[in-house]
Amino acid sequence: MTVFHIIKKPLLVALLLTPLASAIAKPVPETAQLEVSIALPTIDTTMYARPYVAVWVEDADRKPVRTVQLWVGKDEWLKDLRSWWRKAGRYDRELVDAVTSATRPAGEYTFVWDGLNDKGQRVEQGNYTFYVEVVREHGGRNYLRQKIELGENAFSHVIAPTEETGAIQLNYKL
């Protein structure tokens, strides 16, 4: 009897006993959503320009899964959102066109991410990183991130204010 025959049966038994369900990733629940509240503070300066803002989510492998918001004045300024641009913007013109909206004045803004990726598919449960990049001409640059776990448990996080943002509130609801 060869070594192949000796190993073959135990390996087959082990494979049959391994639950397939553990190998298949589970999507986030259909009702899951991440509510995001961002405050843009009033900044008293003679050279004030509305900030460019990119909000996106990356998976545990640091691959972008969804650009949630993109506030820019002109396409030529997209590259100023350096981190977002390197990860997602320069590779997908259709995505840029689909998510871009106008810059916003100082104020409070709330929007919801529905748990879908940029292709419209529900993401898998697991660990992700939420990013906000804010850049203002004649102003500062802030790059913020928060680790999050999307699954079957609700959570809330507050990202501390910076020079270009007020507090950012994340509420994961089911």
Q: How far apart are CA 173 and CA 35, in angstroms?
A: 8
**What is the value of pTM for the model shown?**
0.84
Element (H, E) at 54: strand 52-59
CATH of domain 25-173: 2.60.40.4070
Write down the domain spans for the chain. Answer: 25-173
Give 10-residue mean pLDDT values along the chain (174 residues).
53 49 78 97 88 96 96 84 88 81 94 96 98 90 97 97 96 97
How far is the C-alpha of 112 from the C-alpha of 171, rounded, in Å? 9
d(CA 26, CA 93): 30
Instruction: Report the alpha-carbon distance of residue 22 to residue 114 in Å, rounded.
Output: 25
* Contact partners, residue 66, CB within 8 Å, separation at least 6: 56, 57, 113, 116, 117, 118, 123
What is the reported pLDDT for 6? Answer: 52
For residue 139, what pLDDT is reported?
A: 82
pLDDT at 76: 78
58 alpha carbon, distance to own chain's centre: 5
pLDDT given for residue 138 in this prediction? 79
What is the structure's pLDDT at 118? 92
The span from the CA of 174 to the CA of 159, in Å, is 21
What integer pLDDT is reported at residue 21 of this predicted model?
45
Q: Using an 8 Å Cβ cutoff, are 39 and 166 in contact?
A: yes
- pLDDT score for 1: 56
Residue 15: its pLDDT value, please? 47
Residue 147: CB partners within 8 Å, gap ≥ 6? 127, 128, 129, 130
Report the C-alpha gap between 167 and 174 in whole angstroms: 23
- pLDDT at 7 (0 to 100): 52
Q: Given this model, what pLDDT does residue 173 score? A: 97
- Alpha carbon 18 to its chain centroid, in Å, reads 33
